[in-house]
């Protein structure tokens, strides 16, 4: 299949996957937020860093190496499979015995049992990680969709039943476990791949040498992405952590459904054209403009309409999370671009620079946290806004070295889009202020409709190129879909 068709196919099926998976997950989260208390979500958030660190250690960066490798064979995949499986068992063992220390740190004894049960996910995921890698390398997101949907529906049904029956935080634990287990079983069935009884040390060294730097940088990334969860969980209440987690997850909903639709295809797509810097720059430029074109207005409109949105979706008890969410929306606009910049370094094989960047950025995170925590939880949130902006310029520094696309050029390409979205957001704010309705759904529908219409009109007036990119993309996907129906 030609590269363009392969990319369009990947985007189409990734869109469906994100739409259905994230859509169902979002609906389930609304139901659970109504049934459970913020503190119970806060307890799960407390072990988030250990899940993230365990996932990084389990893979060791070898999965990224397989995707980057042009023609991996059965020995490559089998070697990585056995490493992942052994790594997942070892990591689970470490977490199991460390559970009392985790509980003591957060002063929550219940975390011992939660951690030991929840982290079985490591083993389930390790058992099917290579199957996911193979599907991703082939840009076969269709199969991944057919795996995730049934797993999500089954686990969600169990989670809702348990929450309704009064199991509290354990409904969240068992929901996650069942989803991971069901996905692993299905991946073995649908991927049509089985490992051979072989472990090639030479191939392991090749993938390990590439992956070790990604692992170290990934560990730094996970630790510091969860730094705010640790700080809030330790120095504030579990309820406040629950509010923060809810605000962050709602912010991530459009990021995961917009940024990840393109982002999931980015790495294998970049890897396929890694030797053509001119083409790589052109594709990258269109990508970041496209994602900001869609993501910026969504986050801005959500921020403006945050109060009626939270009350309508999650009820009054979650309203303290509204200001958290509004601040975090600012950080979300640039979030996908951070990973896209790093993907350029990955496909160039410069994982040493990724590690170097992570160290620089994490030193900055520590300094920002030390300063911002003096101003309470809002100081921490505004500190994240500062970090998002600074990280953009730091990551873009090396992107410029490889594809001649500087932070200044990137800024010039996305600033008109963000400015246009901000004007449309201001119009929504004025309309909502003067509407002054007591009906939240009415405020959301009118404000959202006005925002979309005004944004598209402004993009047309200001001649935003991404509007044409978006139209062309939709037309191409529609043509492909109609062609598939015809065959």
| pLDDT at residue number 395 | 83
d(CA 96, CA 239): 26
Question: What Å distances lie between residue 135 and 129, 131, 132, 187, 255, CA to CA?
Answer: 10, 6, 5, 10, 23
Determine the pLDDT at residue 103.
92
pLDDT of the chain along its 487 residues, tens only?
454 555 555 555 566 666 667 778 888 989 999 999 999 999 998 888 888 888 777 766 777 778 777 778 888 889 889 988 898 899 899 999 999 999 999 888 999 999 999 999 999 988 888 888 888 777 676 777 788 889 999 999 999 999 999 999 999 999 999 999 999 999 888 888 888 898 888 888 888 887 777 777 777 777 777 888 889 888 888 899 999 999 998 998 888 766 656 555 555 566 666 667 777 788 788 888 888 898 999 999 999 999 999 999 998 999 999 999 999 999 888 887 877 777 777 777 777 787 788 788 878 888 999 999 999 999 999 999 998 888 888 888 877 888 888 889 989 989 999 999 999 999 999 999 988 788 999 999 999 999 999 999 999 899 887 777 677 666 655 665 565 555 5
Domain chopping of the chain, boundaries? 1-225, 246-487
**What distance in Å separates the CA atoms of residue 2 and residue 333, rounded to the nearest whole number?**
32
Residue with tokens 């207005």, as numbered in its chain: 297
pTM, two decimals, is 0.73
The pLDDT, as a whole number, for residue 189 is 86
pLDDT value at residue 9: 54
């Amino acid at each position: 299949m030609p590269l363009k068709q392969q990319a369009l196919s990947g985007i189409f099926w990734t869109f469906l996957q994100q739409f259905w998976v994230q859509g169902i997950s979002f609906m389930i989260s609304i139901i659970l937020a109504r049934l459970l208390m913020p503190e119970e979500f806060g307890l799960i958030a407390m072990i988030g860093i250990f899940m993230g660190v365990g996932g990084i250690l389990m893979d060791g960066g070898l999965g990224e190496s397989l995707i980057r490798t042009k023609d991996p064979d059965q020995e490559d995949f089998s070697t990585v499979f056995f490493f992942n499986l052994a790594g997942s068992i070892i990591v689970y063992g470490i977490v199991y015995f460390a559970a009392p220390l985790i509980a003591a740190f957060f002063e929550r004894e219940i975390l011992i049992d939660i951690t030991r049960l929840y982290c079985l996910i490591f083993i389930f995921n390790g058992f099917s990680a290579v199957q996911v890698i193979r599907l991703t390398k082939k840009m076969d997101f269709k199969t991944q969709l057919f795996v995730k949907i049934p797993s999500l529906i089954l686990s969600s049904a169990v989670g809702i039943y348990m929450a309704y029956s009064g199991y509290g935080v354990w409904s969240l634990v068992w929901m996650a476990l069942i989803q991971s287990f069901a996905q692993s079983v299905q991946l073995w069935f649908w991927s049509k791949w089985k490992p051979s009884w072989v472990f090639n040390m030479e191939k392991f060294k090749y993938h390990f040498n590439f992956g070790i730097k990604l692992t170290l940088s990934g560990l730094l990334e996970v630790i510091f992405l969860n730094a705010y969860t640790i700080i809030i969980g330790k120095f504030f209440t579990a309820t406040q952590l629950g509010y923060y987690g809810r605000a962050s997850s709602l912010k991530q909903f459009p990021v995961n459904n917009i940024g990840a639709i393109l982002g999931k295809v980015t790495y294998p797509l970049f890897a396929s054209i890694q030797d053509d810097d001119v083409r790589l720059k052109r594709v990258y430029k269109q990508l970041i403009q496209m994602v900001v074109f869609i993501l910026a207005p969504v986050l801005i409109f959500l921020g403006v309409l945050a109060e009626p949105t939270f009350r309508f979706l999650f009820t009054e008890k979650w309203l303290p999370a509204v200001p958290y969410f509004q601040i975090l929306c600012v950080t979300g606009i640039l979030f996908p671009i951070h990973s896209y910049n790093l993907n350029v370094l990955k496909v160039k094989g410069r994982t040493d620079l990724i590690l170097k960047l992570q160290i620089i950025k994490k030193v900055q995170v520590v300094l920002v946290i030390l300063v911002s925590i003096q101003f309470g939880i809002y100081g921490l949130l505004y500190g994240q806004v500062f970090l998002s902006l600074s990280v953009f310029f730091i990551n873009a520094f090396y992107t410029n070295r490889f594809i001649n696309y500087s932070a200044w050029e990137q800024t010039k390409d996305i600033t008109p889009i963000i400015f246009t979205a901000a004007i449309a957001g201001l119009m929504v704010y004025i309309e909502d202020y003067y509407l002054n309705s007591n009906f939240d759904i009415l405020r959301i529908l009118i404000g959202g409709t006005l925002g979309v219409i005004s944004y598209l009109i402004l993009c047309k007036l200001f001649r935003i190129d991404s509007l044409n990119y978006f139209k062309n993309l939709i037309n191409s996907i529609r043509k492909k879909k109609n062609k598939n129906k015809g065959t």
